[in-house]
A and B are shown apart, each in its own frame.
Chain A
Amino acid sequence: MDINQIKIKVEGVNFYYGSKQALRDIALDIYKNKVTAIIGPSGCGKSTFIRLFNRMNDLIPGARFEGKILIDGNNIYDPKLDVVDLRRSVGMVFQKPNPFPKSIYENVAYGLSINGIRDKGYIADKVDKSLKDAALYSEVKNRLSDNALALSGGQQQRLCIARALAVEPEVLLMDEPASALDPTATLKIEELIHELKKKYTIIIVTHNMQQAARISDYTAFFMMGELIEYDITSKIFTKPSKKITEDYITGRFG
């Protein structure tokens, strides 16, 4: 692992929803320009974990965070840190495609306009580029002013990826981005992730073991709020060091 550059350091993280503890003493390093998969049975805290990186959990009343998460050495839970800035550099794609009820163009341009960019030419170029990077451009280039909700589920999800890419994040969080999609659309997203890791550090939650094996470089296995095992993906899927990991990936439970 050591030839890789560490992008994110997670240290001693506990997370609570009210009195219920959802994450227990998590520590791991996430490497730059790699795809890190988070796997584990439903309810084990995968979404909770991934939402720590852009502080989306801040929106939940009564939730409490303990520990440290350093991105490029800066603690993102530092009270002085501007959450808005953080979310610009850590993009997120959600489980269910959630384009805004606006045009395709406006969806991608949204992140730019809220960040105060007024230069129309720049925005137009950026929209085209983001759609190309999200492998959607050829399908929508003639109807950018159509409503985004008219797109298919797979196209909507790629639009959401384009929307996230437009603000030039460094890290991309994906919470089961293909779980609502059919196999063809899923394949497209997987191919896309493979392309995107050249530019972005990607953390992806998936409940699909084959998917984790196909697309990720590192895999973290969670259970009941604890990090059970974290290693190179090929190692997790061939020689896991814990029995329980093996049981899970071979489908004996979960």
Chain B
Amino acid sequence: MKKTLAKKELVQRLGFGFLSLCIMITVFFLGLLIYFIAVRGIKVISWEFLTQAPRRFMTQGGVAPAIVGTFYLTLGAISLALPLGLACAIYLCEYSPKSSIVNIIRISINNLAGIPSVVFGLFGFAVFVKFFGFGVSILSGALTLGIMVLPGIISASQEAFLAVPQSFREASFALGATQWQTIKNIVIPSALPGILTGVILSIGRVAGETAPILFTAATFYIRGYPDSIFSEVMALPYHIYALMTEGTHPQEQTQIAYGCALILLVLVLLVSGIAIFIRQRKRSGYGH
């Protein structure tokens, strides 16, 4: 009896030991990533770096146009994908009959999320740049990025809607609410934390992806800032890519690439932080 207990204890310890090892490995690599980017990036970060346009073949000045470009692309993509994705999720979860066609649509949307981003890039090039004639522009890039994250936003919102207890809907209907009133006043507010999670992930992806904007929006260098949605833009992820693969001053360019990476990292963490903060406040408001 004693022996088996000791053995169980041992197995348990080994189990937990293994789990903590996994956690430590993960944290180690994450820490390493942040450390490397931070240590190398911080060297070039200065007020000038954040606020000036590049000069002298990228080796001097700053990367402000790329920061601005990434901001525009992200804003554009999310403003497209969030309302559209939310509308699709509402339709699929709340309005549509539970038919097999709707199920097929649902499954297709989920699978879309797994398509490689470079495929979205090619699609955007063919459709927005060429067919609609938007050219290489903020508009084409934002549309491409928006479509790329659309499935993710739909899935996250759908999950959030499905997690809203049916009893909330019944209570609302029983008071004489219409379906739309119920969705607007009860379902969406209750699902907001989950929807926000989807948005956070999407922002990270949109800000960080290179492939979708490679042929649709990004350029290595423009003079000054974009003046309309039909301008091409610099963007942080593409700028890193370009600095590492093109140009004539690889030494200085690599330094600057690390600087850009650090900015990108901080920006994405910042956005996530804000969204998590909002989500937590909403959650605690629900008392669970």
Contacts and interface: CB of A to CB of B under 8 A. Distances in A.
B79 interface: no
Interface string B112-139: 0000000000000000000000000000
Interface string B172-191: 11111110010001100110
Interface stretch (B154-162, B163-171, B200-208, B271-279): B163-171
B287 A114 contact: no
A180 B48 CA distance: 65
Contacts of B29: none
Nearest to A160: B171
A98 B171 contact: yes
A85 B173 CA distance: 11
Contact of B175 (A102, A150, A167): A167
A101 interface: yes
A61 B191 CA distance: 24
A167 B173 CA distance: 13
Interface in A65-117: 84-85, 87-88, 91-92, 94, 96, 98-102, 110-111, 114-115
Which secondary structure dominates chain B's binding surface? Answer: helix
A56 interface: yes
Contacts of B2: none
B167 A87 contact: no
Nearest to A82: B176
Contacts of B189: 101-102
Nearest to A96: B167
A46 interface: no
Contact of B190 (A87, A101, A111, A163): A101
Given A101-B286, A149-B287, A110 B97 contact: no
B98 interface: yes
A110 B172 contact: yes
Q: Which of A56, A91, A110, A160 has the most CB of B within 10 A?
A: A110
Interface string B47-78: 00000000000000000000000000000000
B176 A114 contact: yes
B287 A100 contact: no
A164 interface: yes
B165 A98 contact: yes
Interface in A49-64: 54, 56, 59, 61
Contacts of B178: 84, 114
A150 B185 CA distance: 20
Nearest to B167: A98
Contacts of B98: 61
Interface residues of B, number: 23
A186 interface: no
B171 A114 contact: no
A147 interface: yes
A110 B175 contact: yes
A85 B176 CA distance: 7
B288 interface: yes
Contacts of A150: 287
Interface string A131-164: 0000000000000000101100000000010011
A159 to B, nearest CB: 11
A54 to B, nearest CB: 6
B168 to A, nearest CB: 6
Interface string B21-55: 00000000000000000000000000000000000
Contacts of A84: 176-178
A100 B285 CA distance: 12
A190 to B, nearest CB: 22
A150 B175 CA distance: 22
A99 B286 CA distance: 11
B171 A87 contact: no
A92 B178 CA distance: 16
Contacts of B186: 100
Given A54-B174, A164-B174, 6 more contacts: A59-B170, A61-B98, A85-B176, A87-B174, A94-B174, A149-B287
Interface of B: 97-98, 165, 167-168, 170-178, 181, 185-186, 189-190, 285-288
26 contacts: A54-B174, A59-B170, A88-B176, A91-B175, A92-B174, A94-B170, A94-B171, A98-B165, A98-B167, A98-B168, A98-B170, A101-B190, A101-B285, A101-B286, A110-B175, A110-B185, A114-B178, A115-B176, A147-B285, A149-B286, A150-B287, A160-B171, A163-B171, A163-B175, A167-B175, A167-B176
Lowest 10 A-B CB distances belong to which pairs? A149-B287, A88-B176, A98-B167, A111-B175, A92-B174, A101-B286, A87-B176, A114-B177, A98-B171, A147-B287
